[in-house]
A and B are shown apart, each in its own frame.
Chain A
Amino acid sequence: MSDERFEDFLKREAQAYNTPPAEVPREELWETIRASRAAERDATVRPLGGARVIGTLPAQSDTPKLRYTSLIGLAATLLLGIGIGRYALQRDAAVTELASQIATAMTGESDGLATPSAASTQGAASSAEAPDGALVTLAVAPADPVRPRMDVPSARIVTRVAGRINSGTGTAGDAGLSGEPNAAMQIVSRDHLSRAEALVSVVAASPSDAAMDSLTGRWARDMLTNTRLLLDSPAGDDAVRRRLLEDLETVLVQLLQRTGGAVDERALIDRTLQRTQLLSRLRTGAAGI
């Protein structure tokens, strides 16, 4: 038996070895490749315009820094608003607690309380001797009436201060203390909802088979983080706004989980948008704050 015959035999018979199908599933393979490429592009900062590509940023080193820079800025703004809100709440709570302590003291010491002098109402410290001999020291600053320092509480001053706080008829300083955090939170919330409205508009207007580009992906990720922060902040206490933020969060998650240009996943997003009327609610929500 010759080698040539054996080689001919091998070449002929080996054609049956792991015979591939006649049809190559080109489209299916391409869809997966395209989706993977799109996901990689999301994690890569690309140069603008016609700039020459000189390489991509390493996925584990510089890219996260750049990606999180804007995120940190937004989060810092949000946290600042939350911090101001909590500080104000603590101050309100401190005043309320003080009023409570004073009221308690008042019940037992009403007979020994001194009437504040004219000097004390102008912000100066004064000491007076009560009829029963108890020394009452007052340090009342009208410009900052929520922080009276007292060694022994004065019922009249406390009543006056508590009345201002409870009735909302205090000075400009009083109004500012409770108004600042709310204003900051409102600004942050309005800004967030406006940005969300823009993002949802972009998504709703894009073709159903279009893959999400890198900028939109990054945008959606940032929005998702801030939506969660807002939900956990006092802004989420409002029931209507909370529902709006939760629906927005759902759509953002669906958006980020969408791989490539899968039409069925896009249909799911469209259904959620339609069911929740998210776009119109974002418009009215942002305008109403």
Chain B
Amino acid sequence: MTDAQLIAEVLRGDPRAERRLYDAHVDRIYRLAWRMAGDETLARDFTQDTFIRAFDKLGDFRGDSSLSTWLHSIATSVILNGLKKVQRIHGREIGGDELPEVMAPLREAEPDLKLRLRRAIEGLPDGYRTVFVMHDVEGFTHEEIGSALGIQAGTSKAQLSRARARLRDQLSDFAGEWAS
């Protein structure tokens, strides 16, 4: 079933079509929300809000981009606006003892380096961090990122480059880790 057919069925009020649309995209959106928020409750809220808004606005979807891209543009908007509100209230400082458990990477980095890397990513401006997480962590293409964030693919590349440069600068003490 194509995106257009699925959308038409959703707009006709078919609840099974709504569920199919949800099932097709929820995993990726939830993962992105988790990566950006680092908090289960926020990730859930952002994911739910994304789909609620998407269903509300589905009639406005013109098919200029893929449904996935359109959904991710809503998701990034929801996530970034949501995080701004959270930051306004609590700030974005996360202490070392609050760090969630992480999966073991293929090549174990020095614990101190992992902590520094995490803090360096957290310290990036929102725009850089979003592009970095979407591209280097979640594997989105620059075209997808550009469509989701409403920027040019070239702008996405530039922001990623600046994000990496900042991280490299922040982690210069650990140059041996990636040079070896």
Contact = CB atoms under 8 A, between A and B. Distances in A.
B178 A14 contact: no
Given A17-B117, A29-B26, A10 B103 contact: no
Nearest to A1: B179
Interface stretch (A32-40, A134-142, A183-191): A32-40
Interface in A18-54: 18-21, 24-26, 28-30, 32-34, 36-37, 40, 46, 53
A25 B30 CA distance: 9
B103 A19 contact: yes
B62 interface: no
B123 to A, nearest CB: 12
A7 interface: yes
A288 interface: no
A275 interface: no
Interface string B24-43: 00110011001111101001
B40 to A, nearest CB: 8
Contact of A24 (B27, B35, B56, B105): B27
A209 to B, nearest CB: 13
Given A24-B27, A29-B48, A37-B55, A13 B109 contact: yes
A36 B103 contact: no
B23 to A, nearest CB: 7
B169 to A, nearest CB: 11
A5 B168 CA distance: 11
B106 interface: yes
Contacts of A55: 59
A8 interface: yes
A7 B164 contact: yes
Instruction: Classify chain B: how many residues form its interface, as a range.
Output: 35 or more
A17 B167 CA distance: 13
Interface residues of A, number: 34
A33 B51 contact: yes
A85 B95 CA distance: 70
A86 to B, nearest CB: 47
Interface in B112-128: 113-114, 117-118, 121
* Interface residues of chain B: helix, strand, loop or mixed (majority): helix
* Interface residues of chain A: helix, strand, loop or mixed (majority): helix
A29 B113 contact: no
Interface stretch (B11-19, B70-78, B85-93, B146-154): B11-19
A5 B178 contact: yes
Interface string B131-160: 011001100000000000000000000000
A214 to B, nearest CB: 11
Given A12-B107, A14-B117, A17-B133, A25 B44 contact: yes
A15 B34 CA distance: 12
A26 B26 contact: yes
A20 B30 contact: yes
B177 interface: yes
B52 interface: yes
A13 B114 contact: yes
B43 A20 contact: yes
Contacts of A28: 44
B175 interface: yes
Given A10-B167, A26-B23, A15 B137 contact: yes
A15 to B, nearest CB: 6
Nearest to A31: B48
B103 A15 contact: yes
Q: Which 6 A-B pairs have the closest CB atoms?
A: A9-B178, A20-B34, A18-B38, A1-B179, A16-B102, A18-B35
30 contacts: A1-B178, A8-B178, A10-B136, A10-B164, A11-B136, A13-B113, A13-B114, A13-B117, A14-B117, A14-B132, A16-B105, A18-B35, A18-B38, A20-B31, A20-B34, A20-B43, A24-B27, A24-B30, A26-B23, A26-B26, A30-B19, A30-B22, A32-B44, A33-B51, A33-B52, A34-B15, A34-B18, A46-B13, A53-B12, A53-B59
Given A12-B106, A16-B114, 16 more contacts: A10-B164, A10-B167, A16-B103, A18-B37, A19-B34, A19-B100, A24-B26, A24-B27, A26-B23, A29-B48, A34-B15, A34-B18, A37-B18, A37-B52, A46-B13, A55-B59
